Every structure is written in C-alpha cells, then in structure tokens.
C-alpha cells in the first residue's frame, strides 16, 4: 500500500502566489480538506477549510466543499488570500493636505487617525501608501522618504524627503537636534509655571507597548509653556529637543498633567465631572483622540541650506474643545489644584493596563526607526 504522505510536485507553473497540486492516489477516499492538510502541512486544516469556503480552492476547475471526496489524480488549484503585509508598500489614493512641496521635500499636515508607517494591524491605509500614490518615485527612497513620525491620533506637520540626499540631510538634522518642532496640547489639571522636563524615556517595565520615564532610557527633553488656564484644564505649548516615542505624552503624564483624550497615558475614568459644565462634559466625551497637534516645524532646507519654518492653524477639533473650556470659570490662584495621582508603576489610579486601547500605531514602536535617526516626535 502506498504511503499517504507521498511527496507531491506542482503539475504546472501556477500564477505567482497560487498553489497547484495533484492529489496522490494514496489519498483516495479522503475528504478534500484532510487530503490537502496532508499535502500542505505548513497550512492548518482550519485555514484550508476557510479557503475552500471562500471558493479559493478549485478541483478540476470546479467549486468544492471541505467534505468533497477525492479519489486520486485530481488537479487542485489554491489561490491563497493576499497577505495584508504585502500591501504595506503599495500606492493608495488617500488625500494629502500638502503645506509645501518642491523637488526636494514635502511638508504635510497629517490628520488625526492616519497612521504614518505600516506596522502590525495597519498594513494599508497609511501615509506611506498615500505618498507612493502622490509620488511613485518615492518607491526608490527608503521608507518612501519618511524621516519622523507622529502618532496615529496626533495631528499636524510632518516633513518627507523626496530624494535620498534630502533624506540623509533631514536624518542628520534630527540627530543633531536642529529641527525645530512645536506642539500644542490640552492637558488635565492646572499648570501654573513654564518649565522643562528632562527625563529619559524607555520601555515601560511591565507594559511593553508603552513608554515610561526610565533611568535606563534615552535622553528626552521637552520645554513647555502655559498659554491658557481653564477650570479643569490647561492649554500648553511644547517644544522638543529630542524626539522619543510618545515623548510629550509621557512627559505630561510625569507632570501629573496628562493630555486630554489620551487612552494610553491619560487619566482613565478620573474625570472631575462635578467641576465641569454640561457643555464641557459633552465636548470632552465627544473628543476621541489625544489633544496634541504639531503646529510648527522648522529645518534647514537640504538643497538651499536656508532655514525654513512652517506654522499651521490648530486642528479644528482642538479649537472647538478650547472654546468649550473658555466658558468655564478660570482658576483664581495656585491653590486651585487637581492631583491626578499615579501608582508606583507610573499608571493612573483607577485605570488598569488591560483597559488601555493600544492601537499600536501607533504606534508602531519601530525601534530601528528611532535608532537610525528617524524619530517619533512625541
């Protein structure tokens, strides 16, 4: 009797990605899904059944079911579904808000909700896919010219290199900390003084998709300035010296002034509803991302060697939120404080780790992107 594990060979050259096999005589009498699982041990039976159900498997050019009997000698053509990761570097017609463009660089106003670079969970629909549609020649530039990133739910300015030379120049400027980056943030609590946070940032000790203040982390410096104070919140300007992953978000949490809407580093359910009007409560409830916007960007142009700076308006949803806050009673003195306490792990009391909405864009956490000078600017 023949061995049912007889090695098979493709009977013809299939289209790229397709699997074309012949059922061996030794498999006669078996169900199709069982016969295929014996022939293709790299694929689970449940996966093969799903492909059969989706009509991705044809036997002798006919549709089949998993229970179809085979007798040996049948030609089976399998067309596996496209791997999502294969779309990571394909152009997609996604609109871009272009602030500046010449033959060397492109400056974009990224909307909240748009992932910058493909990563697990976001292999398509990213800024990179949009760039390849807008400028097909960017396929010849590493990462389609991207040299720094913004979190998925952060809006604002981002520069892209159109040539390899421009990319090299921009990466060197980022490494030398000469790129000027200014953000606007709306935070919880009342901040009374301007200041600087000079605290290293590294991986969180037990939540590996998060960042945290860490003695073994990389140097991180954020300058902040109070612009407006409201009853329960503060509007601040943040300027970066470094560009660590989630930098502003982590540093604001360190100041016990977490960013409004931040599902990862925010205050969870500890919202001071009793100190807010219904109008502000509704505005906060309807605000579905972190209130962080990259409003200003300045750099040395890679070709002309001239310093150029761009500034855009605050994102519309943040402007609306500020208007709601301006109708609240402003704090009178420094005694008006709220303490959003953190536990020994740097996590806000009342919000457990498994409640965090880790969309990992976001974020991405592509460490080699940071190490080679392509920095995530928050």
- Which residues participate in catalysis according to the annotation? 151
d(CA 131, CA 129): 5
What does 190-209 look like in DSSP terms, one character per residue? ---S-EEEE--EEE-SS-TT
d(CA 44, CA 42): 7
Q: Phi and psi for 281 in degrees, rounded to 5?
A: -60, -45
Bridge partners (DSSP) of residue 188 are 233
Pairing between strand 62-63 and 57-59?
Answer: antiparallel
Can you tell me whether residue 267 is helix, strand or coil? Answer: coil
Contact 186, 231 (CB under 8 A): no
d(CA 221, CA 235): 19
Half-sphere exposure of 218 (CA within 13 A, CB side): 16
Bridge partners (DSSP) of residue 224 are 195, 238
d(CA 322, CA 283): 9
């Amino acid at each position: 009797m023949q061995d049912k594990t007889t090695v098979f060979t493709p009977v013809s050259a299939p289209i790229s990605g397709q699997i074309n096999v012949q059922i061996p005589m030794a498999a006669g009498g078996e169900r199709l899904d069982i016969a295929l699982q014996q022939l293709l041990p790299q694929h689970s039976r449940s996966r093969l059944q799903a492909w059969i159900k989706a009509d991705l498997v044809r036997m002798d050019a006919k549709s089949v079911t998993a229970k179809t009997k085979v007798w040996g000698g049948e030609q089976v053509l399998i067309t596996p579904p496209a791997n999502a990761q294969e779309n990571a570097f394909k152009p997609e017609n996604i609109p871009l808000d272009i602030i500046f463009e010449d033959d060397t660089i492109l400056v974009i106003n990224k909307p909240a909700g748009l992932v910058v670079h493909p990563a697990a969970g976001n292999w398509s629909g990213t800024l990179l896919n949009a760039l390849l549609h807008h400028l097909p020649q960017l396929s010849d530039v590493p990462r389609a010219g991207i040299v720094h990133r913004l979190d998925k739910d952060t809006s604002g300015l981002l520069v892209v290199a159109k040539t390899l030379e421009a990319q090299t120049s921009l990466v060197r400027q980022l490494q030398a900390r000469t790129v000027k980056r200014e953000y606007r943030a709306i935070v919880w609590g009342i901040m009374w003084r301007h200041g600087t946070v000079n605290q290293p940032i590294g991986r969180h000790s037990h939540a590996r998709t998060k960042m945290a203040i860490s003695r073994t982390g990389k140097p991180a410096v954020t300058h902040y300035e109070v612009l407006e104070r409201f009853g329960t919140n503060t509007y601040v300007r943040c300027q970066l010296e470094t560009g660590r992953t989630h930098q502003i978000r982590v540093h604001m949490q360190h100041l016990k002034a977490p960013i409004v809407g931040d599902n990862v580093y925010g205050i969870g359910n500890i919202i001071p509803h009793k100190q807010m009007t219904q109008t502000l409560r509704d505005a906060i409830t309807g605000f579905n991302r972190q209130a962080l916007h990259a409003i200003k960007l300045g750099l040395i142009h890679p070709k002309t060697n001239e310093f150029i700076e761009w500034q855009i308006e605050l994102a519309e949803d943040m402007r609306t939120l500020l208007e709601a806050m301006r109708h609240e009673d402003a704090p009178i003195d420094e005694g008006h404080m709220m303490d959003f306490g953190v536990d020994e792990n740097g996590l806000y009391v009342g919000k457990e780790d498994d409640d965090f909405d880790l969309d990992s864009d976001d974020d991405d956490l592509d460490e080699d992107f940071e190490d080679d000078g392509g920095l995530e600017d928050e």
